[in-house]
Amino acid sequence: MLFNSLEFAVFLPLVVGLYFCLPSRYRTPMLLIASCIFYMAFIPVYILILFVTITIDYVAGIYVERTNGPGRRAWLVGSIICTCAVLFVFKYFDFFTGNFVGLAHLVGWQLPKPVVNIILPIGLSFHTFQSLSYVVEVYRGRQKAEYNVVTYATYVMFFPQLVAGPIERPQNLLHQFYEKHDFDYERVTAGLKRMAWGFFKKLVIADRLALYVNDVYADPRNFNGLQLSIATVFFAYQIYCDFSGYSDIAIGGAQILGFKLMENFKNPYHARSIPEFWRRWHISLSSWFRDYVYVPVGGSQSGIRRWLLAVMITFAVSGLWHGANWTYIAWGVLNGFYLLVGTATKGWRDRVFGLIGLHRETLLRQTIMLVSTFVLTLLGWIVFRARNMEDAWYVVTHFAQGWDFHQIGTEQFLLRQLPIAVASIILLEMAQLLHGKVSVPSLLTRLPIAPRWALYAGFVMVVVMFGIYQKTQFIYFQF
């Protein structure tokens, strides 16, 4: 079920109403049933895959806790292998076999390509990672095994964050299913406002920009340099608003029910360096990779070679996590490269800035760093969004050529959409700039009820009337 669907508009109030009406002991089972219905709205039979993952890690968690010695590690490894095997079969089988057959052709072996035409289950990578983190945390002794299968299944399947995160840790989420959440007006309205902001990002900004981006990236050779440049900047905002919009809706939805999910974004395009960008972008995944890939392969230990290796492995795997395509791997590797080069040249850059009198806190230096980080990020997004490496190369080599200001629109994105797209991006940036400086809600709360409700209702109407409703999935569902 998509958040931006009529079905969800009926589903959520029903679930919330039922949740607060039921006695506490029935609430978690009800959430599990609701989550199943939510997931089965996509492809019903795929719920079985979720059950397989849940069963594997539920059993593994218990045995990891009960067992000592080598058996404990065996349960962990077994659980990781089995869970990843599910991910591999559904997400990567075609990719790896295709590449293997391609390599075999190069050395003269003629192998038939086995093709498993399976539609990727929505959000598979998200709930797989959430499930994996549970077993690892139990193994590390930071989390007690969950013996109640209903609670554990609800932890993996909790519908607000089931298909695109945030990827929760058991320490943050599991215990919340044992807490009693009463209806709290402040919390519920805060959750609703958070959801409204998420819908604004998704429907008004992301899906509007998608019209342009999809047209241009479907065949970049049909467009001039200006259009390629606009599409690339638009994609940066599209993917941010799409994913952070989803996160806002998920966090807000959970908040209504009384659950606190982790934050996933922190104004990523205001970062002044690539490491800072990654501290602000998809935080739940970044921290997952840090804890379960980067640290275990030795990234936190001293030694430059080990560190280099850990960074590149982590970023390459992160790229692969996003999709079974070389463009994603290239995107991951490119970001790892940015990080390495950035770290290696930091001292040199500081000296150059110092020589020309731009000290750390000067506005010009901050602006240069912010813009250069954004441009590097854009370069990464080109590789990420392009259908293949040839298209990516074409965009990179042609975005500065043949700018034609008379030809900006595309077939889907008529020029009447442009002012709304630009205005909504400006509104977004203003909101982000105000973040931490002015508390708009506290200003609103001091207003009498009539103007305050008028503003809230006006915002809802803006989302309704200026949203784009083409039943577009959230980009990250496919990962």
Catalytic residue positions?
Answer: 322
d(CA 238, CA 164): 16
- Our finding on whether 192 is near another protein (CB under 8 A) is yes
Tokens representing 364?
């010009």
Q: Which is nearer to another protein, 94 or 184 (CB)?
A: 184
Other CB atoms within 10 A of residue 435 CB: 13
Question: What's the Cα-to-Cα distance from 438 to each of 123, 210, 443, 460, rounded to whole Å?
Answer: 36, 31, 9, 22
Nearest approach, Cβ of residue 335 and another protein (Å): 7
Helix pair 389-398, 363-385: axis angle to 10 deg: 140
State the DSSP code for 142. S
CA distance 221 to 202: 28
Verify binding: residue 214, another protein, rule CB under 8 A: no
Binding to another protein (CB under 8 A): which residues in 244-263?
244, 247-248, 251-252, 255, 262-263
Which span sits near another protein by CB under 8 A: 60-68, 75-83, 376-384, 426-434?
426-434
Site for another protein in 10-29 (CB under 8 A): 20
Q: Whose Cβ is closer to another protein: residue 121's or residue 245's?
A: 245
Interface with another protein by CB under 8 A: which range of 43-51, 88-96, 119-127, 191-199?
191-199
The CB-of-440 to another protein minimum distance in angstroms stands at 5
Q: According to CB under 8 A, which one of 193, 272, 349, 398 is a site residue for another protein?
A: 193
**Would you count residue 431 as binding another protein (CB under 8 A)?**
yes
Name the residue nearer to another protein (CB basis): 267 or 366: 267
The CA dihedral of 13, 18, 21, 22, to the nearest 10 degrees, is -160
Which of 25, 119, 186, 348 is the binder for another protein (CB under 8 A)? 186
Interface with another protein in residues 334-393 (CB under 8 A):
335, 339
**Closest CB to another protein among residues 154, 255:** 255
Binding of residue 290 to another protein (CB under 8 A): yes
**Which residue's structure tokens are 């990672």?**
129
Rounded distance between C-alpha atoms, residue 254 and residue 3, angstroms:
13
Q: Is 275 an interacting residue with respect to another protein (CB under 8 A)?
A: yes
Shortest distance in whole angstroms from residue 466 CB to another protein: 8
Angle at 257 between CA 254 and CA 263, to 5 degrees: 25
Nearest residue to 152 (alpha-carbon basis) of 129, 126, 178: 178
Residue with the two structure tokens 């954004």: 374
With CB under 8 A as the rule, give the number of residues binding another protein.
79
> Which positions from 291 through 310 interact with another protein, judged by CB under 8 A?
293-295, 299, 310
Tokens of 416: 């009447």
CA neighbours within 13 Å on the CB side: how many for 44? 1
- Rg of the chain over Cα atoms, rounded to whole angstroms, equals 24
Candidate list 177, 237, 289, 331; residue touching another protein; CB under 8 A: 289
Is 468 a binding residue for another protein by CB under 8 A? The answer is yes
- Look up residue 101 and give its two tokens: 């057959």
Least distance in Å: CB of 434 to another protein?
A: 5
Q: What is the DSSP string of 382-433?
A: HHHHSSSHHHHHHHHHHTTS---TT----SSS-TTHHHHHHHHHHHHHHHHH
Which part of the chain contacts another protein (CB under 8 A), choosing from 59-67, 76-84, 373-381, 414-422? 414-422
Does 457 sit near another protein (CB under 8 A)? Answer: yes
For residues 89 and 433, which CB has a smaller minimum distance to another protein in the complex? 433
| Min separation Cβ 300 and another protein, Å | 8
Of residues 155 through 184, those in contact with another protein by CB under 8 A are: 182-184
Indicate the residue among 55 and 172 with the shorter CB distance to another protein.
172
Q: Which two tokens stand for residue 403?
A: 């700018």
> Are 109 and 28 a contacting pair, CB within 8 Å?
no
For residue 61, which of 163, 131, 115, 112 has the smallest C-alpha distance?
A: 131
- Shortest distance, position 276 Cβ to another protein, whole Å: 9
Nearest to 384 by CA among 193, 197, 242: 242
Stretch that binds another protein, among 62-70, 155-163, 272-280, 376-384 (CB under 8 A): 272-280
